[in-house]
Amino acid sequence: MEKVIILRYAEIHLKGKNRGYFERALSNNLEKSLKGLRHELHRLSGRWLIAAFDESKAEEICERIKKVFGVHSYSVGLLTDSSERSLFEAVLAVAPEEGTFKVETHRADKKYPLTSPEVSARLGGRLLNVRPRLKVDVHTPDSIVYVDIRENSSALVFCKFERGAGGMPVTTSGKGLLLISGGIDSPVAAHMMAKRGLSVQLLHFHSYPYTNEGAKEKVVKLAKILSPYTQTDRLTTVKVTHIQEEIHKKCAAELNVTLLRRFMFRIAERVALLNGAKCLVTGESLGQVASQTLEGITSSNSVVKLPVLRPLIGFDKEEIIDRAKAIGTYETSILPYEDCCTVFLPEFPATRPKISFIEEEEAKLDVEALVEEALNSAETVLL
């Protein structure tokens, strides 16, 4: 009898002949998440077992795997052989001392000599004999003891299903580049796209010395919180101070943010293409701020050819905050450091600028030279 952690997937079951590709990606991501911890990862039909681990590290292992997308649920349980004696020893080890219970059996091995109800009845009866404070309740029990008899004369016995991260394994939907600020929204967007299998690279724009090193460190901290979900190991930072100064000096004040975002998209597309990313991702939500109107979004989209994904486009702020709290980024996101979009912020930013006016003002700038200077400032932060 051995303590194991049982992992299950759900959506991958729907992938037909391509299932092996998704299973290999999930296996690779699990191995990455468990790096540094002694373990063995074994493949079963529709699930994996984590075995041969230090039992004192079981809680840490569970904390890591529940952030791996593709894992639908997991259970800490026991691996044993499928003889009735061994099954009962395992049931005895995981069952409660008192309260109501039932035994629920699943047989993957249809050649097993007893039916599932017969196994449940025998094990439940023996358990009642040795634990008189237990009572059977097959409808609403306090505890359920699950017995899963496998095809290879082995069995898994456990009491709880814990919820995993769900979704699809990261990397199975390609690679994208996320524009990450220090705010609440963009980390949530990263989490949502990683859940759909997108390998999310991170790009941050800063305006040093108008924004300080604390603002940059805040984003690094957010990237580290996201890393177990996104499998991201680095963050690219780009300085846009010179662009903001030129826009402030030469262009209409109400377009400061609109023009800056057009530059950000141009730079992000260059970085994405250099790194093999096939789309850009932002944390924009329709109508949330002046630059996130249909006109502002259209203006930004018009300067790039890559598709721009906006997973939060229909979310309100409360929904985004709830998700940020759930994934652990909220408390860091609200730390009081400014991001580059607050530099030279006009009193009345344009909300519905005409594209002809935007292009007329942008013509006052040497766009290509400013983009190249920004790209030359790029730095990589290892997470």
Q: How far apart are CA 335 and CA 182, in angstroms?
A: 9
Which of 230, 241, 228, 225 minimizes the C-alpha distance to 178? 230
Question: What does pTM read for this prediction?
Answer: 0.91
Q: How far apart are CA 253 and CA 105, in angstroms?
A: 69
63-97 pLDDT per residue, tens: 999 999 999 999 999 999 999 999 999 999 999 99
Instruction: Give the β-pairing of 280-281 and 308-309.
Output: parallel
Q: Please spell the DSSP secondary structure of 160-220, one letter per residue.
A: -PEE---SB-TTTT-EEEEE--SSSHHHHHHHHHHHBT-EEEEEEEE-TTTS-HHHHHHHH
* Residue-averaged pLDDT of the chain: 94
Q: Which domains does the chain have, with CATH numbers?
A: 2-163 (3.30.2130.30), 175-382 (3.40.50.620)
157-197 pLDDT per residue, tens: 999 999 999 999 999 999 999 999 989 999 999 999 999 99
Q: How far apart are CA 309 and CA 311, in angstroms?
A: 6
- Order of strands, sheet of 234-239, starting from the edge strand that comes earlier in the sequence: 308-309, 280-281, 175-179, 199-206, 234-239, 379-382
Instruction: Give the β-pairing of 175-179 and 47-51.
Output: unpaired
Q: How far apart are CA 325 and CA 322, in angstroms?
A: 5
312-345 pLDDT per residue, tens: 999 999 999 999 999 999 999 999 876 666 666 6
Which of 320, 318, 300, 317 minimizes the C-alpha distance to 309? 300
99-117 pLDDT per residue, tens: 999 999 999 988 999 999 9
